[in-house]
Amino acid sequence: MTGMRITQRAIAQTALQGLNRNLGDLGKLQEQLTSGKVVSRPSDSPTAVNRSLQIRKDQAATTQHARNISDAQSWMETTDTALTSMVAQVRRVRDLTVQAANDGSMTDAGRTAIAAEVSALRDSLLGLANENVDGRPVFGGATSGNKAYEADGTWVGVGSADGTGVVPIKRRISNDEQVRIDTTGLEAFGPPGGDLFTVVGKIATDVGAGVSVQDDLADLDAAIDRLLTAASTVGARAARIDNAAQVNTDRQLALTKQLANVEDVDLPKTIMQLQFQQTGYQAALQATAQVIRPSLVDFLR
């Protein structure tokens, strides 16, 4: 049986391979501490990289949902403010109409004053009906124009009284949920010819002419009911969007934590591993110095 001969060259190569492995592990730990990341390249951990990419994809979607929610909140706030102001003004119109209907001794000057105030309120209502967000009228539907009504009260938004042509404006607020953010003038103020502005304009004309406004009062009550229904619908959507905003914020925090768990280093643990690795490397250098020539070990140091 022939014995195996171990040469000095073989010993040196084996020692160098072990030292290089130790030095590579030491460098990897130092890189992790410097970057603060466990994964710096796909080869570090294909599984972790795949998980990291998925989390970042979810983060991008959540960030977009947050932008959609912010836009939806702007629409809801503008719509709600306009409807609230309009309800208050229409109730003032009703008070004036009741006054004109019940006061048989009202003078011509009194009727003229009421008619003038009602007419001014109609103009104010038209202004609120043309409220917009970023140049888009909130009551105009999916229109490319910048207003829902002309100065004379003509509807110029998108859609018809029977519901045809109405394209709801929606925003995606989560992966599986969309919410409508618009309310058309047809829904909130009534169809052309019987809409709020026509009713208020007729009241102003009838009061000024001394004509009975009993029928107008009934039409006005119907218009108020439509306004209140629209306001409650907007309020329900706004509450849904606010809830989605909170859920979105919570999800963003959760995803940030998940990404940190996948990518970020455990600082105390990594520091301890680095110290162990440094100690092991120094021990390997000292052991190797006993086997190969000091000049070579000195060069490696």
Which secondary structure element, helix H or strand E, spans residue 169, and what is its range? none
In three-state form (DSSP H/G/I as H, E/B as E, the rest C), the secondary structure along 125-160 is HHHHHCCEECCEECCCCCCCCCCCECCCCCECCCCC
Exposed/middle/buried for 26, CB within 10 Å: 0-12, 13-18, 19+?
middle
Per-residue tens of pLDDT for the chain, all 301 residues: 455 566 656 666 666 666 667 656 655 656 665 665 666 666 666 787 788 889 989 999 999 999 999 999 999 999 999 999 999 999 999 999 998 887 666 778 888 999 999 999 999 999 999 999 988 999 998 888 889 999 889 999 888 766 677 888 999 999 999 999 999 999 999 998 889 999 999 999 999 888 888 889 999 999 999 999 999 999 999 999 999 999 999 999 999 888 877 766 655 665 666 666 666 666 666 666 666 655 545 555 5
Q: Select from 249, 190, 253, 252 the least CA-distant residue to 219.
A: 190
The pTM for the full model equals 0.75
Domain 59-259: state its class: mainly alpha
Measured CA to CA, the distance from residue 129 to residue 115 in angstroms comes to 21
Q: Angle CA(260)–CA(262)–CA(266) in degrees, nearest 5? A: 70
Q: What is the C-alpha separation between 79 and 231, in angstroms, rounded? A: 8
- Written as six digits, the tokens of 108 are 């011509």
Closest by Cα among 189, 234, 206 to 89: 189
**Under a CB-based contact definition with an 8 Å cutoff, are residues 173 and 69 in contact?**
yes
Q: Is 92 in a helix, a strand, or coil?
A: helix
